[in-house]
Amino acid sequence: MKNLKPISLVLILLTVVFTSCNKNKVAPELPPQSAFVTDFSDFNDNAKNIADTTMTNWGHSAINVGVWNVIISVGLAVPVASYVEAVKNHPAEYQGDNTWLWSYSFNAGTATFTAELYGVLKSETVEWEMYISKSGEYEHFLWYSGVSNLDNKHGTWTLYNKPSDPTELLGIEWNRATDSTGNIKYTNIVPNGPENGGYIFYGNDNNSDLNAYYNIYNKGEDNLIQIEWSQTYQNGRVKDVKKFGDDLWHCWDETHYDVDCN
């Protein structure tokens, strides 16, 4: 019986140490919302302006940006809402083995979902997996996964279609230079899909008057649309060989009306 006392003491000490170590674990930082969701608001306008023949250049740009806005904001409403909610500072619980879990509820439209976001800390990266459940319909569906650098300057995501068809849908690659500048690329990765390889690439910086851009590649038509604009003044330009029949820039002013390019 005397020998049990030292053993019991050791076990108690180990438990205290293990618990203390777990409490001192710090969860990895989530990538910013801009690493998942793009702000399309500069090209959100009413149908009247898009149809206005004196706003052809801006309107053509808005239509093509709008297609991807619908794909990402509407078609991917549930995963987008889940990540927007994730970055709202929900607490993470340590699961052991360098793994953390963020668990919370969120709304998309009128429906309520449960999210379980796992972050696994590696030597230089964090691996992410987002599982989403909807009561009475599906449980623990892996809707997207990804990898990010520890400094949150670069990362990738892979999004899957839906619980009834869990095929790959969209690949995301993002880079961040500062809190307000960087780029993000959404690529169609539907297996054997006619638009597989099509993409929209958004970026911004503060080193030019036209400080933001979209490159939109339509795989089916093998056509690249280039758009550049000022986020401050809203003037910009577009280049689209298929639309305009030339390789020239076509410009608009601060009120979206067509103007000659300088």
At residue 134's C-alpha, the angle toward residues 133 and 138, to 5°, is: 70
Selection from 136, 186, 190, 200 nearest residue 162 by Cα: 190
Tokens describing residue 14: 């180990």
Identify the band that residue 46 occupies on the pLDDT scale cut at 50, 70 and 90.
low
The confidence score (pLDDT) of residue 53 equals: 87
The confidence score (pLDDT) of residue 24 equals: 60
According to DSSP, the β-strands at 250-252 and 182-188 are unpaired
Cα→Cα distances 121→85, 99, 118, Å: 21, 6, 10
Contacts of 47 (CB under 8 A, 6+ apart): none
Q: Residues 121-158: pLDDT tens digits?
A: 999 999 999 999 999 999 999 999 999 999 999 999 99
The confidence score (pLDDT) of residue 47 equals: 60
Domain parsing of the chain, residue ranges: 42-259
The confidence score (pLDDT) of residue 15 equals: 41
Q: Report the alpha-carbon distance of residue 109 to residue 83 in Å, rounded.
A: 15
Tokens describing residue 186: 């959404």
Q: Residues 226-248: pLDDT tens digits?
A: 999 999 999 999 999 999 999 99
Q: Report the alpha-carbon distance of residue 165 to residue 168 in Å, rounded.
A: 9
Tell whether the model's pLDDT for residue 14 goes beyond 80: no
Contact 254, 233 (CB under 8 A): yes
Helix (H, G, I), strand (E, B) or coil at 256: coil
Q: Residues 163-176: pLDDT tens digits?
A: 999 999 999 999 99
Termini Cα distance of the chain: 93
Give the mean model confidence (pLDDT) for residues 184-213.
95
Averaged confidence pLDDT in the chain = 90
The confidence score (pLDDT) of residue 89 equals: 85
Identify the band that residue 20 occupies on the pLDDT scale cut at 50, 70 and 90.
very low
Tell whether the model's pLDDT for residue 9 goes beyond 80: no
The confidence score (pLDDT) of residue 207 equals: 82
Which range (1-15, 95-109, 162-176) has the least confidence? Answer: 1-15
